[in-house]
Structure 1
């Protein structure tokens, strides 16, 4: 992965040499020489990354180069710490550090010579520059698609499989529990079949309780039972096995239930025998097991007549699935006979396996639609098939990885630290990527926006699976197919990104069973990330203590969802030692009552996430001195009254969540300070009282030209009339892309919520509150109609709306999420009057 490491280093060198040249402490010429050598070699790396798998000498040479580049980054970071942007020594710089400064310069010179030597020798490994390099010269530019374009909910060629399973499900009698097995090789679509059936509306209505359990290769009986209970809404982490099974029985007693056990490997099924014995019988329950091993299904009680083995996709279905992905821009239609010829050749090598087809389809979606480029990739795929003994799934995944832009390779390898079947938060990922510099920021793009593009780059290539969508088309959580994960872990281990070699790895997942030895030996760590599975709590063992504070070059520290086994104050007491820290995540951390004061030393901080820290009472004033801060998240911090004064100093802030303006006499940041945040892209505003916004401050949002997403939440509005009056005067920026109103206290929507005032609005959400009708201005006129694509109406018990009215003023509407709003009438959603649902319109209609 030397190409990705070099790309990050060059990005940082470029920034420092151009914008912060005075911080180099006399090493400018040496850094420029390193930059020149790396820039020259960068054009060779795409070939080198592939060839090193066959050439051990080249592999070792690139590994040496990777370690040297990491050292260059570390020295560059030290220079930035020792000087401010004027080149002056920072306050507190001690003369004792002068010898270390000399040693730093000497080491940089040695590194520079070694890199030059590698540059001079690299052609002996690679020979003439290949044609493929020139075709990828723009790989570090903007992604081809900067938002999700492929609809992951589409299923092709599995209609017969799903019908067969549904027929079995609805034949269940009340004499016992029916067990069904879905058996087949990896990448065949077993999980997709089970998921499709699980999510069918008929199935949802038939079974009162539906439970999905991902069974990893490493699991315990307790974990399986706790996962079942989490599906049933019980997150209690206590009790022994007997009590867990008793609670499961109580939840399911007298109810029809469906349990899916996905991806079972172990042939020792004694754990399931015990759980099965404790399930209530005679009520129409059903179990679906997906596994690669037929004997596993049999041992879990599946009869021969109820084992289904999905077949590979037919030639026609294979081509259809490929087109849905590769030509998603054209709604699945191939527009070129030349590309169709090459595309069918590629698809034929996938042997009907959906995972392989989607991987190559996603790769082609993100490539220019030129015959020469497609021909090159077809040849690359053929070579990989030869090297991997005709394993079409692994060949397609390896080819997809090889063809990634360098910055996306780092993003993909970050998935290697998460446990099997873990649901991964998109926000956690993209903030990590920003903090570590994986995200290239070019042409004035904001880092937070560019990071979203990187995530879309992986989803469009079908390298990550979507777990949860939001109404606005955004993805909130994802996971990794086990075969993708196998490849990612292998590469991450080989490249010392993460993995088995504790002495060399740069990234480590923080889990409940982490050992002190792992922490002590991982001295080169750049990122330490909490990787608890969804619904689990990560309890950091006392033996770990504050070991992470010894990691001199740590950039990203994520302790989210943690309950500490030691005093939190003592654990974070040395956090100020992490001078290079750029991303600090304490999301949902307990018991956090105040930010550690040593945090004041972290002047490089770009991301501070304190969300869901319900006991957090205040933020120290020094947080407002972090000039590099891009993201400040204090959402869902119920005890936090306001932010300290000085918000206007955070001129680079792009995301501000949970902002509670201080009252006039409160002494904290006022609403008017938002005017200075010219880079602000996302704002979540929380209002309680009318005096939190003065009459002279209501225009504070007008000049925020970068703002795209605005959420306004109103809480405890005992003086609702005054709050409504103040909200009427706050007009969001005209370029707003997404608006969310939560617990709006008024009965009529604000006048500014109309298509003329918000012509660029694409997504609108209204949740809770007293809304009974929409202002007359909302409906526009013959010349002004909404361009909204996604609409969410949630818990609006008084709002009376007809579908025909919405359809008339929102002709571009494609997605509606409506629930718990009994006065909505004639909506195209089954049961909307009493419960709700989601309606999606086909883009072709």
Structure 2
């Protein structure tokens, strides 16, 4: 009886809801969090969301894995009848974890908005309103406070309607497309929610230009990282946001738009170096849901409940489907109305025969990569002959083939696109030849050939593109093929008076006082310069005494430079043609890769100081660079941001990664 009683009492003991038993192959349950959770089970404490996400859900998934019906499968391999239910539970737990992660992002954003509001200088505003300049102070303070409070209110009201998955009873509000992976979806009922009403109030307070520019973000999937230049291309290409002015201020207008939209909380900067200084941005699902509603209502984007562009849409997109690569394009018949064609996620470009030739009024064709996180995404043109159809597209202003493989040459027919402003060929890895008549693109302002490593000819016509503001991937110093036509040299580009951004690929013939770089000082309007060296510099040879010495001009950089980017510099010492005392406008200095070991620069006696005016400094993959942190403040007294990546000899630096100054200088 005693034994039976003992056994009975053991069976009556309550079992724990689950066991916190970490897997030997996983570290999903940090010991401190486990202890905190066990403490909460015994008390009335409330477990925070991130702890549930970090501990509970992974533990449940781990324990569930030990109950997998597959472990009970018969020897003949038959699937257990419980497997479907098991898979459903496992999928639900994964969905719960994803939702909790989104809640954590919402919580982090809420904290940021609240702190910003609490840190506002309320005392200064209150004191100033007692003085004679109270009106001026309030004209600045009140709108700023309104903007912060509106952003906070909008963020608080949005999560239940849009950030989180709909409740089972509300599933009918969201049309389920036949194409289950469709990206363009919206809810007809969303316009009636408080979340949308609050957003629409903020949206209506924007200028017309800001409103129009924001609608283009509805193209992109939730939480994707979008390169700024892609939006800039759309704004310039369609002309609805940035009108063609014939001046070089298009990118300045775009930069200001990004800064405004970021400050007002509509977009999220990624790796912001200074206020408004970022190259990548993202948009939250709640904001995009609202934008899709507005875009659909205004006819900016026309799509049906299945996510397919409607016949009256002026903007079509390529989205990978199970039915076939570009099948829905063959159903799109209203070619004359089409203004923009955008590739969302299609990796196989196989256009219906002569389809592009029918889009005579199209102004933007963006077929390549657009995300900063899609550098490895493979896009291939099955038959690049579709580019021949562009001979009939006379109004085309933007053509982007960024990262598209399979294109070995651009046909001369592209040169007939006389209105083309933007030609983006970045990372077209198979591209070997540019059009001979490229000089006919008289309106071209942006041309990007960076990452096209098979190119070995720069057609003479590039020097006649008098409207060029941006030229990337220009090759200098490479030996020319025998029998090739006349090539464009770096000195030929110096006459392009509107050129603001220039990136070069250099080799051994371009380094030194007698090299092709010697003409850089002639680029008097240049603001951004990037140089990548593709071969090492050979050792210096002994001078030939039989040759008469020749005088050469000392090379130097344009004094107008604002950003200098050096990649794979093959010498341990800084280039002699970099003279900080002449670069008073330089604000950004990037040095990536190469053999550089020190930042020492020989300073002439006539110069007062060799200090840099640089505010943003980036050191990346400099394995041999040695520099003390205390010297940073001496050389760069205006520094506010520094990024250090994989520079092991910079061990005295306070952090690995990003450092920001709170005072506007290092203070060292």
User: What TM-score does the superposition give when structure 1 sets the normalisation length?
Assistant: 0.55
What is the SS of the residue equivalent to 2:632? Answer: helix
Asked if 1 retains the 8 angstrom alpha-carbon contact of 2:347 and 2:380, the reply is no
The Cα RMSD (Å) is 4.5
- Would you say the 8 A contact 1:792–1:818 is kept in 2? yes
Q: Distance in 2 between matches of 1:770 and 1:197?
A: 48
SS class of match (2:504)? strand
1:689-728 maps to which residues of 2 (within 5 A)?
Answer: 689-690=508-509, 695=514, 698-717=517-536, 719=538, 721=540
Task: Tell me whether 1:467 sits opposite 2:282 in the alignment.
Answer: no
Pairing 1:411–2:209 present: no
Q: For residues 477-521 of structure 1, what are the alpha-carbon distances to aligned partners after superposition, in whole Å with 9 as ceiling and x for unaligned?
A: 222222221221122112221132623322223221351355334
Q: Which runs of 5+ in 2 are unaligned?
A: 1-27, 38-47, 59-69, 71-84, 126-134, 159-189, 304-308, 370-376, 542-550
RCO comparison, higher one (Cα < 8 Å, 6+): 1
What's the counterpart of residue 90 of structure 2? 273
Match of 1:578 in 2: 393
1:751 to 576, 593, 600: 576
Q: Does 1:495 align with 2:303?
A: no
Cα shift readout 1:298-344 (whole Å, capped 9, x = no counterpart): xxxxxxxxx998997799757337779xx9xxxxxx99356656766
Structure 1 equivalent of residue 238 of structure 2:
436
Match of 2:201 among 391, 399, 412: 399
Determine the C-alpha separation between the residues in 1 that align with 2:473 and 2:90.
Answer: 48
Contact kept, 8 Å, 2:445 with 2:468, in 1: the verdict is yes
Once residues 644 and 314 of structure 1 are traced to their aligned partners in structure 2, the CA distance between those partners, rounded to angstroms, is 52
Match in the other structure for 2:373: none
Which of residues 505, 524, 537 in structure 1 aligns to 2:337? 524
The 5 Å alignment of 1:509-588 reads 509-513=317-321, 515-517=328-330, 519-521=332-334, 523-532=336-345, 538-540=347-349, 542=350, 544-561=352-369, 567-588=382-403
Secondary structure, aligned partner of 1:713: strand
Q: Report 1:343-358 matches (<5 A).
A: 354=155
Deviations 1:822-842 (A, max 9, x none): 21142121xxxxxx3111122
1:573 Cα deviation from its structure 2 partner: 2.5
User: Secondary structure of the equivalent of 1:508?
Assistant: strand
1:732-747 residue pairs with structure 2 within 5 A? 732-747=557-572
Q: Distance in 2 between matches of 1:485 and 1:816?
A: 33
TM-superposition CA deviations, 1:160-192 (whole Å, max 9, x none): xxxxxxx99663559x9xxxxxxxxxxxxx9xx
* CA positional deviation for 1:345: 6.8
Distance in structure 2 (CA, Å) of the matches to 1:801 and 1:417? 45
Q: Distance in 2 between matches of 1:494 and 1:753?
A: 55
Cα distance change on mapping 1:389 and 1:648 into 2, 3 Å: closer
Partners of 2:148 and 2:274 in 1: CA distance:
33
The answer as to 2:490 corresponding to 1:688 is no
- Post-superposition CA distance 1:703-724 (Å, at most 9, x none): 33321110111012253659xx
Structure 1 pair 322–576 and aligned structure 2 pair: CA distance change class (3 A): farther
Partner of 1:320: 118
1:807 corresponds to which of 633, 642, 646:
633
Does the 8 A contact of 1:662 with 1:692 survive in 2?
A: no
Partner of 2:450: 635
User: Whole-Å Cα distance in 1 between the matches of residues 272 and 516 of structure 2?
Assistant: 36
Q: 1: distance between equivalents of 2:508 and 2:255?
A: 34
SS at match of 1:475: coil
Partner of 1:672: 491
Query: C-alpha separation between the residues in 1 aligned to 2:274 and 2:193?
Result: 41
Number of the residue aligned with 2:287: 484
Conserved 8 A contact 1:611-1:636 = yes
- Counterpart CA distance in 2 for 1:419 and 1:524 is 25
Q: Residue 413 and residue 346 in structure 1: after superposition, are their counterparts in 2 closer, same or farther (change >3 A)?
A: closer
Q: 1:201-254 deviations in whole A, cap 9, x for unaligned?
A: xx9xx9xxx9xxxxxxxxxxxxxxxxxxxxxxxxxxxxxxx9xxxxxxxxxxxx
Cross-structure match for 1:71? none
- Alignment partner of 1:798 out of 617, 624, 629: 624
1:100-139 map, 5 Å? none
CA deviation after TM superposition for structure 1 residue 695, in Å: 3.6
For 2:275 and 2:576, locate their aligned partners in 1 and report how far apart those are by CA, in whole Å. Answer: 23
Greater radius of gyration (CA): 2
Give distance in 1, aligned partners of 2:444 and 2:559: 26
How big is the shift at 1:798?
1.4
Quote the residue 1:32 is aligned against. Answer: none
Return the offset for 1:639. 0.7
What are the within-5 Å matches in structure 2 for residues 252-271 of structure 1? none
Aligned pair in 2 of structure 1 residues 693, 659: CA closer, same or farther (>3 Å)?
farther
In the other structure, the counterpart of 2:137 is 336
CA distance in structure 1 between the partners assigned to 2:462 and 2:52 by the alignment:
50
- Please name the residue that 1:609 is paired with: 424
